[in-house]
Copies of this chain bind each other. A is one copy, B any other.
Amino acid sequence: MRHLFVVLAFCLLVLGNVASAKDHKGITTSAIGEGRFTLIERATPAKILMAEDELKGVQIAAQNLQVDFERVCGKKAQLLNETPQGKCIIVGSLQSTYIQKIVKAGKLDAAALNGKVEKYLMTTIDNPLPGVEEALVIAGSDMRGTIYGIYELSEQIGVSPWYDWMDVPVMHQENLSIAKGCYTAGEPGVRYRGIFLNDEAPCLTTWVKNTFGTNYGGHKFYARCFELILRLRGNFMWPAMWSWSFYADDPLNSQTASEMGVIMGTSHHEPMARNHQEWARHRREYGEWDYVTNQKVLDQFFREGILRSKDNEDLVTIGMRGDGDAAMGAKEGHDDEFVDNDQATIKLLEKIVKNQREIIAKETGRPAKERQQVWALYKEVQRYYDKGLKVPDDAIILFSDDNWGDIRRLPSAEERRNHNGGFGMYYHVDYVGAPRNSKWLNITPIQHMWDQLSLTYQYGVDKLWVLNVGDLKPMEYPISLFMEMAWYPTRYNATNLLEQPREWCAQQFGESQAKEAARILNLYSQYAGRVTAEMLDAKIYNVETGEWKQVADEFMRLETEALRQYMTLPTEYRDAYSQAILFPIQALGNVYQMYYAHAMNQKLYKEGNPEANIWADRVEEAFARDKVLCNVYNKEMSGGKWNGMMIQKHIGYTMWDDRFPADKCPTVSRFENVEEMTGKYIFTPSDGYVAMDAEHYYSKENSAEGQWTLIPFMGRTRSGISVQPYTSDVKGSSVAYRLVIPTGHDEVDVHIITASTLAFQRVEGHRYTVGFEGQEAVEVNFNGELNEDPENVYRIMYPTVASRIVDMTVHIKVGAAGTKNLIIKPLDPGVILEKIIIDLGGYKPSFLFGNESPCKRN
């Protein structure tokens, strides 16, 4: 069963009464059974009936449905134009032959579809047509309504909208049926819903080159985009425009969009259905992109756009910005070098738009208002609007976010009342601009997008929503969230919001994995939203307070959880899971580890601590790992299908743009000859105590025969030191720890943590002395009770040795405050010092005896 929802009661099907149509999320598919309509039986799919005169877009969707059935059961569904005997699936728009017949026979109430926008009904009907015993009828109010109904069925049989763009596997089914009933997804909340492929070099362009062999996006590429959009119940697109020209590169592009049913637009700064590149490639011939000096050429340029588009549904962008997405009369990225010329510009813009509308009217042969237009109030254009710029009443006013997902401006109640063209929103999950590009990974928190799109809709912005998706990948999830909100903006509230990623994950990774995948995806989105990889550096988090460690650890935890889930996934799901969840976590997590290591490297280097070198290695290892991870994405994942899609630079930004030759490893600092760097540590208190790892002494004295020997990793934390060999006389050996004691601590508790060496040689116990230099030393017998004497064995020995350490606490005199030496001298062999804590009143009992206190080497 693909959906959670179980059909609890038999669905009473009242023919003709579709007012009661249920939400499409209630559809269930499962094995064949009573009261259900059979879709697949013994691996043979139901036949599909469609009228010969059906709209092209519906035909294409129906052909895709044929193949979707093949993906599910191994056998393509037959697509017929003549009524078959028995049962079948009937697809058609309301106007089409068979649907009209069914309506006329009183078997389907046309009122439920008539005049509706992009609505479908999916319903089972007995004897809908002569000879047809029973049919699952998918009828649409219009072309796209029908298409959405068809793709709804595709989803229901187990084909994710992301089967192609995210390699979501299709589970094989031998037998499948659908719960009888009448279902609909209703009408869209937002009229135009789509995506903008943008900032498409180097990833998308390289991938297209590798995949299609073209230096531009051709119709085979766009057809895959269109199919995705339609399967996500979108209807709109702004094509990529950095170096590609949708209209000029491949004449079949526009035709394919029209046929498939996707409405094209041109981006906010490309007026009159023309691509920026169409001008840019002919700049020498056309001259300046300046309406004041070059109106004639521009008008002709605009005219050609309208002529080309007049017979399709394309949404015409009006208005004008400067050349190549710059403000008019300004240079992109220099908006702060501002000379107020707004009133003149406003006048000019109003003139431009007036002329544009005249061109539209003339070339379409109808009033301008009958051809849907949009004016994008992006960046500075919004300011003109606020200063009085008049927008034609029928044009959609397209507001925008700040490129980071915050809505800049929303219409007031008055504006909503007065502007008949309605409002739109241009939103970003990818951005090339200040303070730094965000082109690499999905960095949009789920809650943020939900919050701001909810806000958008609450303020009546429902005519056009368009999402800047960068290269499209790896924005799979935010694209889905955006399109779902565009269809049904109020479905999710603050309480049920996380149902959305859960359902999305169920569709992509299976119901049993959905909850955990969604939990991980949500946390990833939150972490990624904190700061982008491009903006991250060693200084973002506080290394001194432990914040850096904490966030680096958080990412490791998340990666563990994702890896755990990855390992439990059936193999066929792994590529999809990698794309949506595992790779982003590993990739961004690794960048976190790298900068954390860099922060530690810098800190320890400054402190003279030779461990700086270890952290330097870690920086370089993480930098190398970044390449490995991206390479796997490009070359190995999904059999190398996404070759080029993950080549975006993301390490080494120094300004907003990525104009540096290649990712660059942070510069690390290293000590030479670390082997010689022993001793000389000086500690200062923190949180009311000083904790010192035993290896971080200030100075040491060896005995005649024995050597103080470092045992790395000995003990609970860092290491241990002892005089070796253990057969040698320890006489004369000592070690000194140097630390700052503030005033007010004449006497202190000192914890000496040693390994739980037993009294293997001196039955009464092995000893050391401890004392501050210049004060009397105290003798400590640390293992005299660690034996099997009846009074010791269970009370002292076993608990101690099982803990592997002995914590001896002595109360000793300090002398005057200041920088002091604490001296420890072993008197017997086998004293392995691990840690020393000076309690200045703040020490809280800890199993690891606190993190090491701040120290420097002098």
A: residues with CB less than 8 A from B are 335-338, 379-380, 382-383, 386, 402-410, 412, 433-436, 438, 445-448, 451, 454-455, 458-459, 494, 497-498, 522-523, 526, 529-532, 535, 540-542, 544-547, 550-551, 553-554, 556-557, 559-560, 563-564, 566-567, 687, 709-716, 720, 722, 724-727, 755-758, 760-761, 763, 786-791, 793-795, 797-799, 801-804, 830, 832, 844-848, 850-851
Contacts and interface: CB of A to CB of B under 8 A. Distances in A.
Contacts of A715: 445, 447
A335 B435 contact: no
A716 B551 CA distance: 11
Given A379-B788, A380-B788, A530-B716, A799 B445 contact: no
Q: Which of A494, A550, A557, A722 has the most CB of B within 10 A?
A: A494
Contacts of A433: 798
A458 B494 contact: no
21 contacts: A335-B793, A336-B794, A338-B790, A404-B802, A408-B787, A409-B760, A412-B761, A434-B798, A451-B722, A455-B830, A458-B727, A459-B726, A494-B724, A497-B712, A530-B847, A532-B802, A542-B844, A542-B846, A550-B851, A563-B563, A566-B567
Contact of A802 (B435, B712, B714, B794): B435
A605 to B, nearest CB: 21
Contacts of A383: 788-789
Given A407-B758, A541-B848, 19 more contacts: A383-B788, A402-B786, A404-B802, A406-B786, A434-B799, A436-B802, A446-B713, A447-B713, A451-B722, A455-B760, A458-B727, A530-B848, A540-B847, A542-B844, A547-B847, A551-B847, A557-B557, A559-B560, A687-B687
A788 to B, nearest CB: 6
A621 to B, nearest CB: 10
A728 to B, nearest CB: 9
Contacts of A758: 402, 406-409
Contacts of A535: 802
Contact of A448 (B382, B455, B714, B803): B714
A502 B436 CA distance: 43
A711 B252 CA distance: 46
Contact of A335 (B563, B714, B794): B794
Contacts of A448: 714, 755, 804
Contacts of A547: 846-848
A790 B714 contact: no
A260 to B, nearest CB: 35
A33 to B, nearest CB: 33
Contacts of A458: 725-727
A482 B493 CA distance: 61
A445 B756 CA distance: 13
A793 B845 CA distance: 51
Contacts of A791: 336
A448 B719 CA distance: 11
Interface of A is mostly: loop
Contacts of A714: 445, 447-448, 451
Nearest to A804: B529
Contacts of A410: 760-761
A555 B830 CA distance: 30
Contacts of A412: 761
A291 to B, nearest CB: 22
Nearest to A589: B560
Given A412-B761, A522-B713, A726-B455, A556 B545 contact: no
Given A448-B804, A458-B726, A727-B459, A494 B711 contact: yes
Nearest to A378: B788
A71 B464 CA distance: 67
Nearest to A436: B802
Nearest to A412: B761
Contacts of A447: 711-715, 720
Contacts of A532: 802
A436 B337 CA distance: 74
Given A709-B494, A788-B382, A790-B336, A799 B846 contact: no
A544 B793 CA distance: 32
Contacts of A712: 447, 494, 497-498
A711 B497 CA distance: 9
A712 B845 CA distance: 34
Q: Which of A433, A447, A851 has the most CB of B within 10 A?
A: A447
Contacts of A560: 556-557, 559-560, 563
Contacts of A795: 336
B409 A545 contact: no
B757 A406 contact: yes
Closest 3 CB pairs of A and B: A338-B790, A553-B553, A434-B798
A532 B709 CA distance: 28
Contacts of A337: 790
Contacts of A798: 402, 404, 433-435
A530 B804 contact: yes
A337 to B, nearest CB: 7
A852 to B, nearest CB: 13
A803 B791 CA distance: 63
Contacts of A802: 404, 434-436, 438, 532, 535
Contacts of A567: 563, 566
Contacts of A542: 844-847
Contacts of A554: 553
A551 B848 contact: yes
B801 A404 contact: yes
A402 B711 contact: no
A553 B550 CA distance: 8
Contacts of A446: 713
Contacts of A529: 716, 804
Contact of A804 (B338, B445, B459): B445
A847 B531 contact: yes
A541 B847 contact: yes
A810 B563 CA distance: 44
A312 to B, nearest CB: 34
Contacts of A409: 758, 760
Given A382-B788, A435-B799, A551-B848, A711 B793 contact: no
A714 B452 CA distance: 12
A406 B408 CA distance: 69
Contacts of A445: 713-715, 804
Contacts of A756: 404, 406
A789 B760 CA distance: 79
A13 B239 CA distance: 75
Contacts of A566: 567
A789 B802 CA distance: 67
A335 B494 contact: no
Contacts of A550: 553, 848, 851
Contacts of A830: 455
Contacts of A844: 542, 544-545
Nearest to A402: B801
Contacts of A845: 542
A610 to B, nearest CB: 15
A791 B336 CA distance: 6
A694 to B, nearest CB: 13
A554 to B, nearest CB: 8
Q: Which of A726, A832, A845 has the most CB of B within 10 A?
A: A726
A752 B278 CA distance: 49
Nearest to A719: B447
Contacts of A755: 448, 451
Nearest to A557: B556
Contacts of A720: 447
A30 B90 CA distance: 68
A509 to B, nearest CB: 18
